[in-house]
Structure 1
Amino acid sequence: MEFIIEEGKCLNKETSTLILPALSIGNVGQLAVDLLVSSTRAERIGYLDDPYILPCVGNDAYGPTPCGELALPLEAYDSRNNGVALVQQRSPVVKGMMVEFARNLAHFAVATGMNHVLVLSSLEFMRLQKIDTSSGMQIFYLSSTNTDGTDDCCERLGWKKWQEYNPDQRSWKYLSSLAEGNARQEDNLPFEDEPEDEDYYPSLPFAALFSCFKAKGIKVTCLLCYCSEGDNTPEAFSLAEATSKLLGLSIDNSHGEGGKWLIPFSWRTVYGPPPDLSMF
């Protein structure tokens, strides 16, 4: 993975926390990063070039007027006021290469001096085994701070540790071995022909990212929420708000729209124009 810095720009030397999405159902992690980039007024400082991510190109996602800047598959942003860097991922990883991609991101984090990585991801609501109807949308976390995935800071914020994580389960152990370079991805798994439900979550992108950052000795925290396909902007707001609380981010709400978050301009066309009411 190559980090290409735009001319005249650089990463703040005091930046030590990296925020990035893990692609999953509803693209909630990416939407949350969009909110964080726009609302912290983060500056794009460059992009990452990796052989394991599919190419794509589009218009600037944040500016209301065309200024000639293109959106690329992996973009790097720096929020100097908050001491955080953000990576936005706009296209999927080549099939079967998620662990290699996660390793490359871990190398990038080490090379740029990061000591904490925050991964934002969604999970499929149909797999949520216990639904708590006494409160609103729930945020779950997974941390490398302790072996069992717990973290005192996250607990103080009222979040629940994600209970599906079991470092002794065979798929999690295999993923950890891959991340540490003690196994080859092409090795046949003893349970490859008979996957069980417990093998599902370790196969997701956030699990590979968690394992690879952890293998590099970097503190990694995953913030997770459950959702279904559809309009997932409420989940994106929840993940962005959770990120802000955990890191104590300074949000620029001086845009005069009446809310805390600055909505990216590209969101206006996510679902197209409203329906023609004359048809009803």
Structure 2
Amino acid sequence: MTKVGYIYTGCLVSMVGNNPYATSEENTQELSINAEVYSLAARKLTVVQIRSPFIKNKSRSFCQLLISWMKTNGFGRVIILSSSHAYQRDDQQLLGTSFRYLLTPALQSTVGDLMQKLNWKEMEQMVTYPGISETEKRTVIPGGGITKILYNNSCSEEIPLAVLLKFCSEGDNVPDAYALVNHLNEWLQLVQNANGDGTVIFSKWKVPSSWRLLFGSGLPPALF
């Protein structure tokens, strides 16, 4: 994919770094910032990547900015890849797959049946007041950042949006990233050289060069 722009906003903590997707010495020193936009015209695919946390009390403003951008550009479908704390699952979420999805009403009518065919599991609603009232329930995504805000706003703005998330634990989340993108590929078939269930062998995905130093550069040999 090609970087085509960035989102200029004061809602995110400022940051700048080297190109995380460098493939040669020529593009290693290209700079990247906190929110960038990538595109693959052949697939009519646009990706927004956010790399820094939100400034306090600015997350809702950023969501409104994204919603406005989605509506202005008229995206046919929006997909949020997210996660939720594995340790905050309730009893019903401990069973079966660790993946969940949510669809706005604008998208439910077109892909709802497909989700059933894929045997995907919709995000369960949790009791709002445990031990007091078992009838009132709501959607909760602990650790999901702005996912729920974007989902709720997209419902009210009639944006065709889907949330695809995985329950994750702290630590090395590289396997979770592979699993989530494989799960997405079952639906969108972005990578064609996949197995019958849509999964792709790890070696077939292009791993960002920046992942080599995900946990630092290792212990200095001089220590030994």
TM-score, reference length from structure 1: 0.64
Residue in structure 2 matching 1:142, options 95, 102, 108: 102
Query: Residues 181-192 of structure 1: matches in 2 within 5 Å?
Result: none
8 Å CA contact retained: 1:251, 1:261: no
Cα pair distance change 1:251/1:263, threshold 3 Å = farther
Who is 2:117 aligned against? Answer: 156
Is 2:176 aligned against 1:235?
Answer: yes
Whether contact under 8 Å (1:81, 1:250) holds in the other structure is no
Q: CA-to-partner distance for each residue in 1:101-136, whole Å, 9 max, x for gaps?
A: 11100111111121211011111111112323xx6x
Pairwise CA distance, 1:152? 2.4
**Partners in 1 of 2:192 and 2:8 — Cα distance?**
29
Q: Retained in 2: the 8 A contact 1:251–1:260?
A: no
DSSP-derived class of the 1:158 partner: coil
Alignment of 1:22-171 (within 5 A): 42-66=1-25, 67=27, 68-130=29-91, 131-132=94-95, 138-145=98-105, 151-164=112-125
1:47–1:74: 8 Å Cα contact kept in structure 2?
Answer: yes
- Code of the residue aligned with 1:269 in structure 2: it is L
User: 190, 203, 222: which is aligned to 1:259?
Assistant: 203
Shift of 1:278: 11
Secondary structure of the 2:162 match is strand
Aligned 8 A contact 2:20 2:208 in 1:
yes
Q: What percentage of aligned pairs have identical amino acids?
A: 26
Q: Decide whether the 8 Å contact of 2:16 with 2:31 is kept in 1.
A: yes
1:214 and 2:155 correspond:
yes
Secondary structure in 2 matching 1:71: strand
Residues 117, 221 of structure 1: 8 Å contact kept = yes
Distance in structure 2 (CA, Å) of the matches to 1:55 and 1:46:
16
Question: Which segments of 5 or more consecutive residues in structure 1 lack a partner in the other structure?
Answer: 1-41, 171-196
1:97 Cα deviation after fit:
1.9
Q: CA deviation at 1:155?
A: 2.3
Query: RMSD of aligned C-alpha atoms?
Result: 3.4
**CA-CA distance at 1:219 after TM superposition:** 0.8
For the residues of structure 1 that align with 2:150 and 2:14, how far apart are their CA atoms? 20
Number of residue pairs matched by the alignment: 205
TM-score relative to the length of structure 2:
0.78
